[in-house]
Amino acid sequence: MIASLRAKDRAELNRRGFLRVSFAAAGGLFVSLYLDREATHTALAQEGNPQPPPQQSPKNFPPDAFVNIRPDGKIVIQVNRLEFGQGVHTGLPLVLADEMDADWNNVIAQLAPAADVYKDPLFGIQMVGGSGSIAHSFQQYRELGAKTRAMLVAAAADRWQTTPDKCRTEAGVVHGPAGQSATYAELAGEAARKPVPASVRLKNSSEFRLVGKRVKRLDRSAKCDGSLKFGLDLDLPGMKVAVVAHPPVFGARVKNINDEEARNVPGVLNIFEIPLAKGTGVAVVAERFWAAKQARSLLQIDWDLAGIEPADSAELWTTYRQLGRTPGNMAATQGDPAAIDKIAPSNRLVAEYEFPFLAHSPMEPLNTTVRFDGERAEAWAGSQFQTFDQAAIAEVLGLKPEQVTFHTEMAGGGFGRRAVTDSHVQREAATIAKRLRGTPVKLVWTREDDVQGGYYRPMHFHRVEIGVEADGLPTAWRHVVVGQSLLADTPFASFLIKNGVDQTAVEGAADTHYAIPNFHVSVHHPKVNVPVLWWRSVGHTHTAFVMETLIDELATRARMDPIAYRRKLLKPEAKKLLRVLDVLDQASAGWRNKLVRGHALGVSCHECFGTGVACAVDVSIENKRPKIHRATIAVDCGLAVNPLSVESQFQAGLSFGLTQLMAKGAITLKNGRVEQRNFDGYAPPYIMDAPAAVDVHIVPSTEAPTGCGEPPVPVISPAVVNALARLTGKRYRTLPLTSI
Amino acid sequence: MATYKLNVNGQPREVTVDPSTPLLWVLREDLKMTGTKFGCGISACGACTVHLDGIATRSCIVPISHVGDRPITTIEGIGSDAVGRAVQSAWVETDVVQCGYCQSGQIMAAVALLKATSKPTDENIEESMGGNLCRCGTYPRIRQAIKTAAAQLTKGAA
Amino acid sequence: MRRIRAGVSVSVVVVAVVLWLNAFAGANASDPPTTAQGLAAWHQIYSVLTSPRCINCHTATDYPQQGDDRHRHIANIVRGPEGKGVPGLNCSGCHQETNADSTGVPGAHNWHLAPLSMRWQDTNDQPLSSAAVCRAVTDRSRNNNLDGPSLLKHNEEEPLVKWAWNPGRHPDGTMRTLPPLSHEEFVAATRRWVEAGTPCPPEK
């Protein structure tokens, strides 16, 4: 069921989107291949036309929900997940367009609204995350493109009274055996009547015209001239703007509001208490954002803190350290868990690591717009979790999800912040829209709301004891992780938390590719009154740091080259990591052994979400901060669907990862209150903090593609810190790096 | 509320707003020009950068009452001269953007740099662009695009 | 005859008394302040110069400071070749002609950093000693060639100096903290110090 259509499509099709025929001025028959099969069946049946029942099977994605061949020749492709920088807005359409043999110059990509047909084929919800866009939808979009092409060719073959095998396609045109040709737009109407093939032949990689090529982003021009609209840019007739005063301590409730001054701000329309995911807050609705913000700052609110646990970073560290020095729930075990105790202390390495809370802080502050008319609702948001968000809005408004038209807006970053199972921002917006029935309202979170509003990468403590053999390789590894469970109290809990272990807290450590005979990882999941969330690359943000700094320390101890040491220690099955280490070796050979005085090399490698990455950095210390002159990256992501996109993701993702090292890269709490307010207190990397140059080397591969959204993040911080260790002789186990 | 006559991208515009309203919000909500972005509200990120009388200015902290008759140039109008065009073109050719939300501000800052310095060094780039945040991290490609634009402008001027 | 002689005697006494009184008054009004008084006045001036509203722009580094805790200015703002920032990040881009209280950004005409020759801190952001600051302020090869009277005029009339006593408000309405003396007291102390010959404390 197509939940919603863009305005110009609405002009061609009615809300339910059944087949429409329009006659072009020249008398031809042009039809847009964009229809809802079920509704078509119903509609045509009602008109007395017998039609075969639509073929609906969960794996059989109807091309018409994804491809619209417009009469003007433009091919509009629906993208089944949010574009928030990772490039899926270009990446999936190019896959479809390639198999379809569409003219890439005529392709327009759109972000699909929330609908069943757009659910992730593997996860069964409409979402983006886990670096899964290409990995999960590559095959899907290939088939969609191939099926559409097959239907167009079948239509042409009919027209020319020949057979499909005698026709070929190129750049949006079908060519017949006797010199005939027809554009896809011309054939669309007839093609729409063809049955969707159950199976199709997909291209050999040698036939690819777009896949595997460096394809520039479809959205790049509009993002350079101010014309591309993000969720925050939405403007609707009669729209009001709302901000919410959130409690200073998570979960607190409003006790008393003095809004006299606030109501005097011109343009303020309404001020009222609303329930939040936890606790309550105060909504301020105004004609304009500035009025709402001014009024909110004039509110005097007494908060009820009774029974609310005030989280405090210093206290948490004390608790976490204690927990970390005791065994937790077993996450991985191999060999003898007591092996470490039998090793002489002089052959043991013990290390404790501390990682603070981190805010995701995408550049576009969170926002959602909702309009509720009593029977239906319409919502706009740059959502990573459309299925959850649509359902949450429906729940708040007393509707069914299909009664909520949920538009996916282009988002200014996400990094996981827009993937929240409790849909708290959408719930706030829906609650306010319910009160303002009939009037669209845009809820805006300010940067202060974002920095102080929770949903952080959790604090973590690690304690690792390593026993080392004479050859310098570890024989025993006992590792305790302490950190809040991300998945507890979410729909994912029942199948992703096993035996008290939340996989997301130990991934990257428990499933390490290093061969360590006696290997034991356990975890504690304390309950803390701070809402927590993924943060780009999730568990790997801290586990990779621990693993790769310790491995490096062992390499130094063994007086081995850091690349050689890793090669030696990795399991032979770790094919991707071994490959990228080889490529890194070659690609960095030109510079890594020729560093000038004051510069040092740092190396790391890590695999996450199926992609293997190796990293080498050239680092010096300038003005007491690490200066990264160069980073060389080797990546094995299987088939690189868009190598330009892979390169961009790695060049840029390294910078995101460096947030962890920034002097002000930490969220801390004192007596329940977040101490940072904005980018002055929580300062991510700016241009001088990022590597000045990054060269990316992609391992040639024909294996199934794996993602690149998150894999850049885990490798950079340990690589930089490994370089610093060579410069200063110190070990850096507490993040962020406030001093070097 | 007060009425202000503004000069935006060469066009006369008139608004009636609270005098304390930052220029950013007048542009976005009263003039419906959403190319200039809201990122932090405290001039820490640069997403709101416009040119006020040719000087790169963070519009989130300039109240409309402080603007006067100084000409305002936004991302929507920056392409009206050779430097603006060269920067936008270089950005597009170099495939700089990811989420794109910071890029209006980045481009406005880069134009200011190139108008003052036709052959910026790496240090010039770091200093002038050092106040513009990009959470996606497109910094390496931003550097590349600035150098491309500089080369393009030098070639054009030759 | 005896009456005229008595009048002359009284006049002599009156004149003598007046001259004697003048001698005392001269010690407070017409005589210049002593070195000790000048140093005491300098001590007061130093307390103002090293207060955040003043010293934040008299750094030894390539960046300004902000706030009462004098942290490095956000957004990597740098000095630039003339203390006015760099293209794209000029001081006057954000700091307008007057304070912007609604957004919490201070402003005054020609907002810029004092030149490095007028630094009052070391490169670790620590305020220099009273002796060192005094030397900097009185060294005409470093202080823009200002003599005593010019220094007084500077402290009395320079807009950026006067801004310190009208530093604007934070968005929450609270005013930025003021220097430890009022502007009038600061000017008066400067006058005393200048009249004492701008003495500097000895280097320790």
Q: In the predicted model, is pLDDT for residue A676 greater than 60?
A: yes
Domain that holds residue C131: 34-195
DSSP annotation of A457:
B
In CATH, what number does B79-157 get?
A: 1.10.150.120
A272 close contact with C: CB closer than 8 A: no
In one letter, which amino acid is C94?
C
**Do C74 and A297 lie within an 8 Å CB cutoff?**
no
- For C161-195, the pLDDT digits (tens) are 999 999 999 888 899 999 999 999 999 999 999 99
From chain C, which residues contact A within 8 Å (Cβ)? 74-76, 102, 171-172
Report the alpha-carbon distance of residue A108 to residue A6 in Å, rounded.
Answer: 13
Among B55, B63, B109, whose Cβ lies nearest the Cβ of C103?
B63
What's the average model confidence in pLDDT over C92-108? 96
Q: Which residues pair with A77 in a beta bridge?
A: A67, A109
Contacts of B155 (CB under 8 A, 6+ apart): none
Contacts of A270 (CB under 8 A, 6+ apart): A283, A284, A285, A435, A436
Which string of DSSP letters, residue by residue, matches A609-636? TTEEEEEEEEEEEETTEEEEEEEEEEEE
Question: Which positions in chain C touch B115 (Cβ < 8 Å)?
Answer: 87
Contacts of C101 (CB under 8 A, 6+ apart): B20, C168, C169, C171, C173
Strand (E) or helix (H) holding A21? strand A21-23
What's the average model confidence in pLDDT over A672-700? 98
* Residue C200 placed within a domain: no
Residue C72 and residue C144 in one domain: yes
- For A178-223, the pLDDT digits (tens) are 999 999 999 999 999 999 999 899 999 999 999 999 999 999 999 9
Question: Which positions in chain C touch B43 (Cβ < 8 Å)?
Answer: 74-75, 94, 105
Report the alpha-carbon distance of residue A287 to residue A441 in Å, rounded.
Answer: 10
Question: Which positions in chain B touch C104 (Cβ < 8 Å)?
Answer: 42, 61
Residue C1 and residue C87 in one domain: no
Q: Which two tokens stand for residue B57?
A: 């200015």
Question: Which positions in chain C touch A680 (Cβ < 8 Å)?
Answer: 74
The pair phi, psi for residue A249, each rounded to 5°, is -125, 130
Compute the count of residue pairs across chains A and B with CB atoms less than 8 Å apart: 192
**Do C86 and B110 lie within an 8 Å CB cutoff?**
no
For chain B, what are the domain ranges?
Answer: 2-73, 79-157
Contact between A276 and A432 under an 8 Å Cβ cutoff? The reply is no
Q: Which residue of C has its CA nearest to A689?
A: C76
- Across chain A, mean pLDDT equals 92
**Do B116 and C87 lie within an 8 Å CB cutoff?**
yes
In one letter, which amino acid is A395?
E
Q: Which two tokens stand for residue A640?
A: 């690189």
pLDDT band at C18; cut points 50, 70, 90: low
Which of B54, B3, B1, B47 shows the shortest CA–CA distance to B24?
Answer: B47
Residue C17 and residue C54 in one domain: no
Q: Which residue of B has its CA nearest to A84?
A: B99
Report the alpha-carbon distance of residue C133 to residue A239 in Å, rounded.
Answer: 58
Strand (E) or helix (H) holding B55? strand B55-58
Length of chain B: 158
pTM over 0.80: yes
Weakest-pLDDT range from A592-596, B123-127, C22-26? C22-26
How confident is the model at residue A55, as a pLDDT?
A: 35
Report the alpha-carbon distance of residue C80 to residue A394 in Å, rounded.
Answer: 55
What's the average model confidence in pLDDT over B32-43? 98
- For B130-141, the pLDDT digits (tens) are 999 999 999 999
The pair phi, psi for residue C149, each rounded to 5°, is -60, -35
pLDDT band at B158; cut points 50, 70, 90: low
Q: How far is B69 from chain A (nearest CA, A)?
A: 22
Among C74, C76, C172, whose Cβ lies nearest the Cβ of A688?
C76
Q: Where are the beta strands (DSSP E) in A236-365?
A: 240-245, 253-258, 268-275, 280-286, 300-304, 329-334, 348-355
Please report, rounded to a whole number, the percentage of residues in chain C having pLDDT higher than 90.
81
- Answer whether CATH 3.30.365.10 is correct for domain A7-207: yes
Report the alpha-carbon distance of residue A207 to residue A62 in Å, rounded.
Answer: 24
Which of C165, C73, C79, C71 shows the shortest CA–CA distance to C119?
Answer: C79
How confident is the model at residue C173, as a pLDDT?
A: 85
Stretch 274-303 of chain A: residues touching chain B, C-beta under 8 Å? 288-291, 294
* Residue C122 placed within a domain: yes
A350 close contact with B: CB closer than 8 A: no
Stretch 76-105 of chain A: residues touching chain B, C-beta under 8 Å? 83-87
**Do B104 and A364 lie within an 8 Å CB cutoff?**
no
- Among B24, B87, B96, B99, pick the best mutation site for testing chain A contact (most A Cβ within 10 A): B99
Report the alpha-carbon distance of residue A488 to residue A262 in Å, rounded.
Answer: 39
Stretch 665-684 of chain A: residues touching chain C, C-beta under 8 Å? 679-680, 683
- Among A677, A680, A688, A738, pick the best mutation site for testing chain C contact (most C Cβ within 10 A): A680
In one letter, which amino acid is A133?
S
Q: In the predicted model, is pLDDT for residue A27 greater than 80?
A: no
From chain C, which residues contact B within 8 Å (Cβ)? 74-78, 80, 86-90, 92-94, 96-98, 100-105, 107
What's the average model confidence in pLDDT over C135-148? 94
What's the average model confidence in pLDDT over A133-139? 96
Contact between A438 and A533 under an 8 Å Cβ cutoff? The reply is no
- For A416-466, the pLDDT digits (tens) are 999 999 999 999 999 999 999 999 999 999 999 999 999 999 999 999 999
How confident is the model at residue C203, as a pLDDT?
A: 86
**Do A363 and B97 lie within an 8 Å CB cutoff?**
no
How many domains is chain C built from? Answer: 2
For chain A, what are the domain ranges?
Answer: 7-207, 231-307+366-444, 325-358+456-728
Question: Which positions in chain B touch C88 (Cβ < 8 Å)?
Answer: 49, 56, 109-110, 112-113, 128-129, 131
- Across chain C, mean pLDDT equals 90
- Answer whether CATH 3.10.20.30 is correct for domain B2-73: yes
DSSP annotation of A191:
H
Report the alpha-carbon distance of residue B4 to residue B18 in Å, rounded.
Answer: 10
DSSP annotation of B62:
S
Q: How far is B147 from chain A (nearest CA, A)?
A: 13
Residue C106 and residue C130 in one domain: yes
- Specify the CATH number for A231-307+366-444; select among 3.40.50.970, 3.30.365.10, 3.90.1490.10, 2.40.30.10: 3.30.365.10
**Do B58 and C94 lie within an 8 Å CB cutoff?**
yes
Which string of DSSP letters, residue by residue, matches A313-330? HHHHHHHHHHHHTS--EE
Residue C179 CA from chain centroid, whole number: 10
How confident is the model at residue C9, as a pLDDT?
A: 58
Strand (E) or helix (H) holding A674? strand A673-674
How confident is the model at residue A496, as a pLDDT?
A: 87
What's the average model confidence in pLDDT over A583-607? 97
> In terms of DSSP bridges, do strands A694-698 and B11-17 run parallel, antiparallel, or are they unpaired?
unpaired
Q: Which two tokens stand for residue A375?
A: 């029977």
Residue C84 and residue C143 in one domain: yes
Which of A233, A243, A251, A253 shows the shortest CA–CA distance to A425?
Answer: A243
How confident is the model at residue C19, as a pLDDT?
A: 59
Question: Which positions in chain A touch C74 (Cβ < 8 Å)?
Answer: 679-680, 683
How confident is the model at residue A335, as a pLDDT?
A: 97
Question: Which positions in chain A touch C75 (Cβ < 8 Å)?
Answer: 686
Which string of DSSP letters, residue by residue, matches chain C? -HHHHHHHHHHHHHHHHHHHHHHHHHHHTTSPPPHHHHHHHHHHHHHHHTSHHHHTTS-SSSS-EETTTTEEPGGG----TTSSEETTEEHHHHS-SS-BTTTTB---TT--PPPGGG--B-TTSPBPPHHHHHHHHH-TTTTTT--HHHHHHHHHH-HHHHHTTS--B-TTSPBPPPPSS-HHHHHHHHHHHHHTT---PPP-
What's the average model confidence in pLDDT over C83-105? 97
Residue C11 and residue C49 in one domain: no
What's the average model confidence in pLDDT over B20-26? 98
Coil, strand or helix at A226: coil
Q: In the predicted model, is pLDDT for residue A38 greater than 50?
A: no
Question: Which positions in chain A touch B103 (Cβ < 8 Å)?
Answer: 223-224
Residue C27 and residue C40 in one domain: no
Comparing A537 with C3, the larger pLDDT belongs to: A537
How many CB atoms are closer than 10 A to CB C149?
A: 11
- For A235-249, the pLDDT digits (tens) are 999 999 999 999 999
Q: Is the dihedral of CA A121, A123, A125, A129 positive or negative?
A: negative
Question: Which positions in chain A touch B33 (Cβ < 8 Å)?
Answer: 226
Q: In the predicted model, is pLDDT for residue A50 greater than 50?
A: no
Class of domain A325-358+456-728: alpha beta
In one letter, which amino acid is A122?
L
Q: How far is A458 from chain B (nearest CA, A)?
A: 19
End-to-end, the C-alpha distance of chain B in Å comes to 51
Report the alpha-carbon distance of residue A171 to residue A177 in Å, rounded.
Answer: 17
Residue C14 and residue C79 in one domain: no
Distances in whole angstroms, Cα of residue A391 to Cα of each of A376, A401, A404, A542, B135: 13, 5, 8, 33, 29
**Do C88 and B22 lie within an 8 Å CB cutoff?**
no
Report the alpha-carbon distance of residue C70 to residue C55 in Å, rounded.
Answer: 9
- Among B87, B133, B139, B141, pick the best mutation site for testing chain A contact (most A Cβ within 10 A): B139
Contact between A252 and A305 under an 8 Å Cβ cutoff? The reply is yes
Please report, rounded to a whole number, the percentage of residues in chain A having pLDDT higher than 90.
90
Q: How far is A686 from chain C (nearest CA, A)?
A: 8
- The neighbours of chain C, by the rule of 3 or more Cβ pairs under 8 Å, are A, B
Residue A589 CA from chain centroid, whole number: 33
Q: In the predicted model, is pLDDT for residue A721 greater than 60?
A: yes
Q: Which two tokens stand for residue A350?
A: 């013990």
Q: Which residues pair with A330 in a beta bridge?
A: A522
Contact between A558 and A731 under an 8 Å Cβ cutoff? The reply is no
Reported as half-sphere exposure (CB side, CA atoms, 13 A), residue A360 has a value of 27
**Do C76 and A686 lie within an 8 Å CB cutoff?**
yes
Q: In the predicted model, is pLDDT for residue A21 greater than 90?
A: no
Question: Which positions in chain A touch C171 (Cβ < 8 Å)?
Answer: 297
Stretch 490-519 of chain A: residues touching chain C, C-beta under 8 Å? none
Question: Which positions in chain C touch B113 (Cβ < 8 Å)?
Answer: 86-88
Q: Which two tokens stand for residue C196?
A: 């004492």
Q: In the predicted model, is pLDDT for residue A377 greater than 80?
A: yes
**Do C74 and A680 lie within an 8 Å CB cutoff?**
yes
Regarding an ipTM greater than 0.95, the answer is yes
pLDDT band at A44; cut points 50, 70, 90: very low
**Do B37 and A364 lie within an 8 Å CB cutoff?**
yes
Q: Which residue of B has its CA nearest to C63?
A: B127
* Residue C142 placed within a domain: yes
Q: Which residues pair with A521 in a beta bridge?
A: A332, A479
* Residue C40 placed within a domain: yes
How confident is the model at residue A60, as a pLDDT?
A: 63
Q: In the predicted model, is pLDDT for residue A285 greater than 90?
A: yes
* Residue C203 placed within a domain: no
Residue C17 and residue C40 in one domain: no
Give exposure, A682-705, as e/b (b: 16+ Cβ within 10 Å): bbbbbbbbbbbbbbbbbbebeeeb
